[in-house]
């Protein structure tokens, strides 16, 4: 059934569609992906018109938000919902592992290590956990399936929590003048969307925010940020297509200073961590910011797509080696069973996860709280094992 036929049968109040322009698309109706539909009650039979953008506006993203609706949703609930897939996988793996339990011997610890690696906690973390658990299980003289299950899950929760103790996952702000927050990461991880969400978050907190569209590389990237700016009523500094990103950063910093803004968010082009030119471009942007605002603490937030699992950890390693990353934004946790990667990011890279992205809506972002995360991820396992 075509899109219009569908809407004739089910009239809608509002529809969010993503226009997909395949590289070989020339004319006619491009394929579209329906992102969200708000069904209109009750009048069935009405058709609606959707205005499609012109063919040359590639990669246009149309997003509408019903902020108030989501804002009332409890943060803990949202985290629980967002982590549903990860939790399901964890509990399935866990149950399968415990179903095979016979006795606490070397095979048991080998299986445990494999289970943990399979759950994306990372090889190093799995090894460390298994080693510590060997002692712990003996220490507590745990023998029954339930006792052992409890010791292991408690240890996992502990590890998540203890890593948060000395970790500075807070955002740093300049005591005066604008704070600059750069978003970096490979293509498509969610940098622009995160800026849209974070800028709205800080605006709601009473901060004056400016955005700079320094991704002059990808066609449509500036428009995407401008759309977020319009939606949140936040000014966006732009440059022409293929302009030097550093010049947009310069204009952004100047605008932020002139307008006495509190925060400047800079959207950067998706870059491969091993592309020397792009990494140099990033250094140039940072030099310009420091030249204009010498004493100012900046945040360089590396955005990682949680759905890419261990790849995200690899990306983080390489970015960390070539630029001063101050924290991680872990996006798309809602769409993945790989939420376990928070553990290796913190345990192996010692980079604080500062924010987690839990959806595509403007309010689908939360500061990362190790305790809440551990509680949400393993809470149900603890209940199940009781």
- Binding-site residue ranges for GTP: 185-192, 267-271, 331-334
Q: Does 357 bind ligand GTP (CB under 6 A)?
A: yes
How many Å apart are CA 174 and CA 293, to the nearest integer?
Answer: 10
Residue 190 binds ligand GTP, judged by CB under 6 A: yes
Of 94 and 191, CB closest to ligand GTP: 191
Residues 298-337 that bind ligand GTP (CB under 6 A): 331-332, 334-335
User: Least Å distance between CB 316 and ligand GTP?
Assistant: 15
Binding of residue 366 to ligand GTP (CB under 6 A):
no
Residue 360 binds to ligand GTP (criterion: CB under 6 A) = yes
Cα 149 to the center of its chain, rounded Å: 31
Q: How far is the CB of 224 from ligand GTP (least distance, A)?
A: 6
The DSSP code for 270 is -
Calpha distance 303→59 (Å, rounded): 20
Among 208, 218, 284, 317, binds ligand GTP (CB under 6 A): 218
Q: Beta-carbon neighbour count of residue 260 at 10 Å?
A: 10
Contact characters 258-277, ligand GTP, x per CB under 6 A: ------------x-------
d(CA 260, CA 117): 49
CA-wise closest residue to 166 among 350, 349, 385: 350
CB of 334 to ligand GTP, least distance (A): 5
Report residue 338 as tokens: 């790989």
Q: Shortest Cβ distance from residue 325 to ligand GTP (Å)?
A: 15
Return phi, psi of residue 83, to 5°.
-90, 10
- CA–CA separation, 246 vs 169, rounded Å? 28
Question: Bridge partners of 328?
Answer: 302, 353
User: Residue 269 or 382: which CB sits closer to ligand GTP?
Assistant: 269
On whether the CB atoms of residues 207 and 262 are closer than 8 A, the answer is: yes
191 binds ligand GTP (CB under 6 A): yes
- Residue 187 C-beta: closest distance to ligand GTP, Å: 4
| Residue 271: partners with Cβ closer than 8 Å, 6 or more residues away | 184, 185, 186, 278, 279, 281, 282
- Confirm or reject binding of residue 189 to ligand GTP (CB under 6 A): yes
- Residues in touch with ligand GTP (CB under 6 A): 185, 187-193, 215, 218, 221, 270, 331-332, 334-335, 357-360, 364
């Amino acid at each position: 059934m075509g899109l219009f036929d569908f809407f004739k049968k089910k009239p809608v109040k509002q529809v969010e569609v993503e226009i997909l322009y395949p590289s070989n698309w020339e004319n006619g109706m491009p394929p579209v992906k329906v992102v969200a539909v708000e069904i209109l009650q009750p009048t069935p039979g009405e058709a609606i018109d959707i205005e499609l953008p012109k063919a040359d506006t590639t990669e246009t993203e149309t997003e509408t938000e019903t902020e108030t609706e989501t804002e009332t949703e409890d943060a803990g609930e949202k985290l629980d919902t967002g982590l549903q897939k990860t939790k399901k996988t964890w509990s399935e793996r866990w149950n399968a592992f415990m179903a095979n339990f016979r006795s606490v011997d070397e095979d048991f610890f080998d299986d445990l290590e494999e289970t943990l690696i399979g759950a994306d906690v990372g090889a190093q973390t799995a090894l460390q956990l298994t080693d510590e658990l060997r002692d712990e299980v003996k220490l507590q003289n745990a023998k029954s399936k339930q006792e052992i299950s409890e010791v292991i899950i408690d240890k996992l929760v502990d590890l998540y929590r203890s890593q948060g103790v000395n970790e500075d996952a807070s955002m740093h702000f300049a005591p005066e003048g604008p704070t600059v927050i750069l978003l970096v990461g490979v293509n498509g991880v969610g940098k622009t969307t995160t800026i849209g969400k974070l800028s709205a978050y800080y605006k709601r907190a009473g901060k004056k925010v400016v955005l700079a569209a320094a991704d002059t590389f990808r066609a449509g990237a500036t428009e995407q940020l401008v759309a977020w700016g319009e939606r949140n009523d936040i000014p966006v500094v732009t440059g022409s297509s293929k302009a030097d990103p550093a010049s947009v950063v310069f204009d952004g910093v100047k605008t932020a200073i002139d307008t006495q803004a509190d925060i400047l968010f800079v959207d950067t082009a998706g870059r491969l961590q091993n592309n020397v030119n792009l990494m140099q471009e990033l250094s140039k942007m940072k030099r310009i910011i420091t030249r204009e605002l010498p004493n100012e603490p900046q945040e360089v937030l590396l955005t990682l797509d949680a759905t890419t699992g261990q790849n995200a950890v690899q990306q983080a390693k390489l970015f960390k080696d070539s630029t001063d990353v101050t924290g991680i934004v872990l996006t798309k946790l809602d769409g993945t069973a790989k939420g376990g990667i928070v553990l290796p990011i913190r345990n192996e890279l010692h980079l604080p996860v500062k924010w987690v992205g839990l959806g595509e809506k403007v309010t689908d972002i939360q500061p990362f709280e190790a305790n809440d995360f551990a509680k949400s991820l393993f809470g149900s396992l603890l209940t199940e094992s009781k």
